[in-house]
Amino acid sequence: MEHVYQRRVAFADTDAAGVVHFSRILCYVEEAEHSLLSELGIPLMDGGGWPRVHVECEFLAPIKPGYELEVVISPAQLGNSSVTWQFSVIHSAQTMAQGKVKSLRVDHSGKPVELHPSWREALTR
């Protein structure tokens, strides 16, 4: 399952060199993740959460203000209580960044909880 999230780069996302700050790219990926989870009916803010426990990102080309981006995200691996997302950030058919983010499902106290069977089914369609 691939989800494509589209976003225009804002000037406020850039650093002193006039390119998108690396940390903002990970925010774009998080926006794409939230978009997909919302589309699938998987809750984001229900007393539990999805903290990141591992991030890998390869920056391949500078991203500039005004670029129209496609963030392509898909679940690469499901654990007992985690989802590892694979992502690519694309502009004009060129991959600008790519990597993986592992999110852990936790309850209100921050303890890992098992993924709900309906979520697991939705993520593997």
Q: What is the pLDDT of residues 27-68, one digit of tens each?
A: 999 999 999 999 999 998 888 899 999 999 999 999 999 999
Q: In whole angstroms, what is the distance from residue 59 CA to residue 79 CA?
A: 26
Query: Which pTM does this prediction carry?
Result: 0.93
Tokens of 125: 């369609």
| Residue that the structure tokens 């309850």 belong to | 107
Q: What is the mean pLDDT of residues 105-110?
A: 94
Q: pLDDT averaged over the chain?
A: 96
Task: Express as a percent the part of the chain with pLDDT over 90.
Answer: 94
CATH of 3-123, one of 3.40.50.1100, 3.40.50.1370, 3.10.129.10, 3.40.190.170: 3.10.129.10
In the sheet with 82-91, reading across from the earlier edge strand, the strands are 3-8, 68-78, 82-91, 94-104, 52-59
Which sequence positions are flagged as catalytic?
15
